[in-house]
Amino acid sequence: MPEPVKAVGATPAGATDEHSAAKAVQQMFDEIAPRYDFLNHALSMNVDRLWWRRTARIFRHILARDNASVLDLCAGTGDMSVALRAMGAGPRIYALDFSHQMLQHGVEKYRNKTIQPVEADALHLPLPQASIDLVVSAFGFRNLANYEAGLHEIFRVLKPQGEIGILDFSEPGGILGKFYGFYFRKVLPRIGTLISGVKGPYEYLPASVQKFPAPQQLLSKMEAVGFREVSWTPYTFGIAGLYRGKKA
């Protein structure tokens, strides 16, 4: 029997290896799925909607193609997929997540916007090599148990010249960073726990952001996998940001 592989990505409390980390993340998102959309919008004061739309606009040169194939990785309930669809009616959009409950709570969005939900693991994508024009992940890549493996799998399924976009949280510096850090670590977990009725996920959130590689570190990982023209664009004073790259 092979030895467990140490988690080098997200590690929720109690997780000791990649398998247990992935199972813990999956369970957390299944538990909070019923209140996920409401909490996302309330805790971000609806700024998250602006982030999704801005990201979709950046990739409109791909989304305008009638024959493009687009993957929303770690799609959750599908808000990023909906923002991508708004940029073009032609592309095939796949909303992939390994949380069954999250996909179920987004089913009406998928059906109304002709988006195909796919229940699968982001580290083992059920897609052929070089089959996707664009992979976008909004606030989900950070939850992978292995960041490098996730980048390799994205690289595998992208067509030559295909593009990657990872939208995720970061830790801003300066005075704003101190105020935001207090809200993010002390206030947000309490509100999230109170409304959702589930304690673990909203304590895990700030811990996962703290562990996530800093922008330059993640860009270096992307380059090591083979991505070129990599960049990071901060959103809202660096509270979040978009990582971009192209398959050479």
Q: Indicate the domain borders of the chain.
A: 18-172+203-247
- Give the CATH architecture of domain 18-172+203-247: 3-Layer(aba) Sandwich (3.40)
Q: Count, in order, helices (H) and strands (E) of the chain.
A: 12, 7
**Contacts by 213-216 with C-beta closer than 8 Å and gap 24+?**
213/147, 214/170, 214/171, 215/170, 215/241, 215/243
List all residues 6 or more positions away from 55 whose beta carbon is below 8 Å from its beta carbon. Answer: 80, 83, 136, 138, 165, 167, 242
Residues (pLDDT < 70) of the chain are: 1-7
pLDDT value at position 6? Answer: 61
Q: Which of 87, 93, 96 is nearest to 63 (CA)?
A: 87
pLDDT value at position 82? Answer: 96
CA–CA dist 34, 185 (Å, integer): 23
pLDDT value at position 1? Answer: 41
Place of tokens 């029997």: 1
pLDDT value at position 7? Answer: 59
Burial class (CB in 10 A: 0-12, 13-18, 19+), 248: exposed
Contact 136, 109 (CB under 8 A): no
Looking at the DSSP bridge assignments, the partners of residue 57 are: none
- Give pTM, 2 decimals: 0.93
Q: Which of 137, 246, 238, 139 is nearest to 181 (CA)?
A: 238
pLDDT value at position 5? Answer: 60
Q: How many CB atoms lie within 10 A of CB 75?
A: 31
